[in-house]
Structure 1
Amino acid sequence: MPFDLKIFHDYDIRGIYPTEINESIYTLIGQALAKYVKIGPIAVGHDMRISSPSLSRALIEGITSLGIDVVDLGLISTEMLYFACGKYDYPLSCIVSASHNPPEYNGLKGVLRGMIALNGSYGFPEIKEIIAKQFSDKTPRGWQAGVATQAMTPPMVKESRKIGTVTTKNILTDWISHLLSFVDEKFLKPLKVVVDAGNGMAGITWQNLMAKLPIEIIPLYFEPDGTFPHHIPNPLEESNLKDIKKKIRQENADCGFAFDGDADRFFILDGKGEVLSGTITTAILASHLLQKHGPASILYNAICGRIVPETIKKYHGTPYRVRVGHSFIKQYMRQFDGLFAGEHSGHYYFKYNHYADSSAIAALLFLEYVSKVGKKVSDMRLEFDKYPQSGELNFLAPNIDEILNTIRTNQSKKATSIDEIDGLSIWYPTWWFNMRASKTEPLLRLNIEADNKTILQEKKTQLIDKLLTLGAKLK
């Protein structure tokens, strides 16, 4: 293959620009997408990364070269892309983005009509096959696996057909109206909220929400800037939360929201600067939505803690525990007609958002809940923080399957239940753990939850020691 197909990952296309991905490759990918979907218009948007506008133009050039029309959405977030896919019913919607990755990265996410995500199991295999066929006769001069400079132009598909049209569309007004439909503004209290967009795409949404909400929003880094001058927009890393924590304390704010680069994920911080885990936020939003809408199916991924199903049952919902990953969750949301789904990683999905995830909707619903209950966010966090968790521990492990098999054999004694919904989960009377291979990195991930901190520390030490003896290295 003339360029390295490792840019195709389980959930998206992603690589370093311009050595692994570039405009020539995106033109080729655009042609492959056009051949795969066969009909238009295909919607294309891009994030704030330095290389995103030119990669977006190249993608559009590839699509239109085969006669397929394009709707150019311009500068958007991933959650806006999902909205456009559902609202305007495009056959395919794509965004050039690398989410929270460092500045040198870029990538591509795509969703088909019906919010079906392109991924390693659906769509990508066929698209890679289309690309491979275009190179089957001859490898262009200058190409080699793993190296792709801008001078190395892939073979264009030349067919005698018309060039597709490009129409620009600004969806911001429709998007903001859609967001506001999820909450009753007259019940929102004048809370003070620090919002850290991290120079990513959340700033566009929240800049426009500021004037429409009775909330005092204190902005941090709203200007989209692909160089990320203040910090990488990845709220999973503690070092990226220093500024928002400081601002919350300075302003005596009620809470804070920290978003990732393409604004499909976020984390909440209370008035003391403490982070609410994805598990706690999922439980809070589940309780609010079940009280607001009545009994419904609520989904949560295999890493979320026990407080989530307990809360769902308490408010007469039906809990479904499912695999990790946005492409899987979107599928399960439709399968179970889920009202809401939450992931430990900060993704939150909504039935009335075309079953897709949206950080902005989750944040607005959280503000509605805080206004309703009238409690401090720090008190709410403690109320739902019932079971201590280890957080996600990552291990470098070349033999992940062997390790999982060994752990399953050794740890099954005294277990009350075992499941393999996603990796390996083993449950005991006072604790449980999940161990799984990462879908995006060559890592083994471990999450542990227990009835108290003493048990948690004991079991955490035991499992880490066991993994080290099996050749894994704690990252």
Structure 2
Amino acid sequence: MSHVFDPTSLREYDIRGVVGKTLSEADAYALGRSFGTLVRRAGGVKVAVGRDGRESSPMMEAALVRGLNESGVSVVRVGLGPTPMLYYAAAELGVDGGIMITGSHNPADYNGFKMVLGGDAFFGARIQEAGRMAAAGDWESGTGGAEDVEIMDRYVDRLLKGFDGAAFRIGWDAGNGAAGPVVDKLVARLPGEHHTLYTDVDSRFPNHHPDPTEEKNLADLKALVGEKRLDFGLAFDGDGDRIGAVDGTGRVVWGDQLLSILAEPVLKAEPGATIIADVKASQALFDRVAELGGEPCMWKTGHSLIKSKMKETGAPLAGEMSGHIFFAQDYYGFDDALYAAVRLIRAVTQLGGSLTALRSAMPDLVNTPEMRFQVDESRKFAVVDEVLDRLAASGATVDRTDGARVNTPDGWWLLRASNTQDVLVARAEAKDQAALDRLLGQIDGQLALSGLARGPQAGH
């Protein structure tokens, strides 16, 4: 027996596709066989499996579990919940790996799988390897059992461990995603007054798309905060591993701004520690970390890449512009938006009690959202290389961590190739609009020299 995956579904950080088109029950079964085989060959016997609230998730779970069992691996099913709850189960239940069935924040007809093996993110070459094993039918055979474990209450206990935050008035928007039931349990136990939106899990996402990095998806949360005069609001993506926030005046507090707040208590406890953020983050964040006595580290975008860098540097905290926040201080080092929310409440308490004041104290910079433009897959990395060569020849100040990030007296701009799509991603940040326009002019100039035009496809 063997199985060939649709190549578009085997992505850099996970397996993801449109159910019935690029992702099927047969794929779930084959992944179970390949992943189970890798677990067996590493001396393991047991895997935890969780799922999000999508309509196709129970069907995918059944096929996945069958595949794991037939490769001789036993399964612990933790049921419906956010991705970080599965990561928590994988860390705490004495298992050898974990698989989360989730389409993350993609539209309702998508689904997919996020994996951990032996405590490490399973990504990149390992995902391709699982695909090759399936195509070759290179699978172990055996039998394994399956049991259900109720873990949500234990997970909520863990989120609240050591809680020392004040009583705030907070709005919470789960976007009908898989984090909803955890949010309900969490707010019941937090001090203060809490107002929740869309905590019922609904695979159609009838209210708004569960992606808090797009400002339009925060409209209902802003309205709730304004109408009830709340201290701030928190929002989650479809599978609960990315966080969004708004302050008491409805201003968005972006991923890098949240990180600059979260970093302060962390650096009080661990002076001089490394704090990691991706190349899309504001210069203001890196400056703030240095000002607090920390070691700022700019790293490649991508949650699996950030996790690996954290292990290497011993960083207690890391984050991405996209709202993935990773705590290794007093936690496991995986991206958990619910834990980040709890730590944010604790940090705001420690730093004077007002998220609005903390947001107001940040430098006023103007920046673009993430701009994306289609480029032929074969040209994707080549264009970035051409830009780097021209910049080097012109003597520009360039950071090559992940694409080209160029510092000028006006601010900075970034051009990088997406890991997951055939697009180039650009972003710029400056002290005022005129400076930003000059930076955008530089991006346009470089693209034109490589035969491309910056399209109208701005946004996330």
TM-score when normalising by structure 2: 0.92
Larger CA deviation: 221-230 vs 356-365: 356-365
Whether 1:63 and 2:68 are equivalent positions in the alignment is yes
Distance (whole Å) between structure 1 residues aligned to residue 224 and residue 374 of structure 2: 35
Quote the offset at 1:340 in angstroms: 0.5
Distance (whole Å) between structure 2 residues aligned to residue 18 and residue 63 of structure 1: 21
- The equivalences for 1:198-347 within 5 A come to 198-347=175-324
CA contact (8 A) 2:255 2:321 kept: yes
Distance (whole Å) between structure 2 residues aligned to residue 367 and residue 297 of structure 1: 22
How big is each residue's C-alpha offset from its partner over 1:84-121, in whole Å with a ceiling of 9 and x where there is no partner?
Answer: 2222342110000010000000000001122x111122
Residue 193 of structure 1 aligns to a residue in which SS?
strand
Identity of aligned residues (%): 30
Distance (whole Å) between structure 2 residues aligned to residue 457 and residue 195 of structure 1: 36
Distance (whole Å) between structure 1 residues aligned to residue 302 and residue 146 of structure 2: 32
Q: Out of 81, 101, 107, which is 1:102 matched to? A: 107
Residue 196 of structure 2 aligns to a residue in which SS?
strand
Quote the offset at 1:468 in angstroms: 5.2
2:131 corresponds to: 128
CA contact (8 A) 2:384 2:417 kept: no
Whether 1:176 and 2:153 are equivalent positions in the alignment is no
CA contact (8 A) 2:32 2:67 kept: yes
The residue type paired with residue 101 of structure 1 is: N
Quote the offset at 1:70 in angstroms: 0.7
- The equivalences for 1:16-95 within 5 A come to 16-38=18-40, 39-95=44-100
Quote the offset at 1:72 in angstroms: 0.8
Larger CA deviation: 401-410 vs 238-247: 401-410
CA contact (8 A) 1:280 1:385 kept: no
1:150 corresponds to: none
Residues 386 and 286 of structure 1: is their aligned pair in 2 closer, same or farther, counting only changes over 3 Å?
farther
Distance (whole Å) between structure 2 residues aligned to residue 285 and residue 375 of structure 1: 13
Structure 1 unaligned blocks of 5 or more: 136-156
Q: Out of 110, 120, 123, which is 1:119 matched to? A: 123
Distance (whole Å) between structure 1 residues aligned to residue 422 and residue 7 of structure 2: 16
- The equivalences for 1:314-463 within 5 A come to 314-351=291-328, 352-374=330-352, 376-398=354-376, 399-412=379-392, 417-463=397-443
Quote the offset at 1:330 in angstroms: 1.0
Distance (whole Å) between structure 1 residues aligned to residue 293 and residue 433 of structure 2: 30
Quote the offset at 1:236 in angstroms: 2.1
The residue type paired with residue 362 of structure 1 is: A
How big is each residue's C-alpha offset from its partner over 1:12-65, in whole Å with a ceiling of 9 and x where there is no partner?
Answer: 000001121121221121111111211221111100000001101110011111
Structure 2 unaligned blocks of 5 or more: none
The residue type paired with residue 12 of structure 1 is: D
Quote the offset at 1:447 in angstroms: 1.3
Residue 100 of structure 2 aligns to a residue in which SS?
strand
How big is each residue's C-alpha offset from its partner over 1:156-194, in whole Å with a ceiling of 9 and x where there is no partner?
Answer: x795x4x2110111111221121112531xxx3321111
How big is each residue's C-alpha offset from its partner over 1:415-460, in whole Å with a ceiling of 9 and x where there is no partner?
Answer: 5532221111122233222211111221110111223332112212
Distance (whole Å) between structure 2 residues aligned to residue 353 and residue 50 of structure 1: 32
CA contact (8 A) 1:414 1:428 kept: no
The residue type paired with residue 27 of structure 1 is: Y
CA contact (8 A) 1:8 1:124 kept: yes
Distance (whole Å) between structure 1 residues aligned to residue 56 and residue 78 of structure 2: 16
Residue 167 of structure 1 aligns to a residue in which SS?
strand
Quote the offset at 1:413 in angstroms: 6.4
Residue 43 of structure 1 aligns to a residue in which SS?
strand
1:471 corresponds to: 452
The residue type paired with residue 93 of structure 1 is: G
Quote the offset at 1:361 in angstroms: 1.7
Residue 361 of structure 2 aligns to a residue in which SS?
helix
Residues 382 and 64 of structure 1: is their aligned pair in 2 closer, same or farther, counting only changes over 3 Å?
same
Q: Out of 148, 165, 174, which is 1:197 matched to? A: 174
The residue type paired with residue 56 of structure 2 is: S
Quote the offset at 1:11 in angstroms: 0.6
Distance (whole Å) between structure 2 residues aligned to residue 46 and residue 440 of structure 1: 22
1:145 corresponds to: none
CA contact (8 A) 1:267 1:278 kept: yes
Whether 1:13 and 2:5 are equivalent positions in the alignment is no
CA contact (8 A) 1:10 1:439 kept: yes
The residue type paired with residue 267 of structure 1 is: G
CA contact (8 A) 1:111 1:118 kept: yes
CA contact (8 A) 1:201 1:262 kept: yes
Residues 183 and 314 of structure 1: is their aligned pair in 2 closer, same or farther, counting only changes over 3 Å?
farther
CA contact (8 A) 2:413 2:443 kept: no
Distance (whole Å) between structure 1 residues aligned to residue 53 and residue 89 of structure 2: 18
CA contact (8 A) 1:199 1:221 kept: yes
The residue type paired with residue 366 of structure 1 is: L
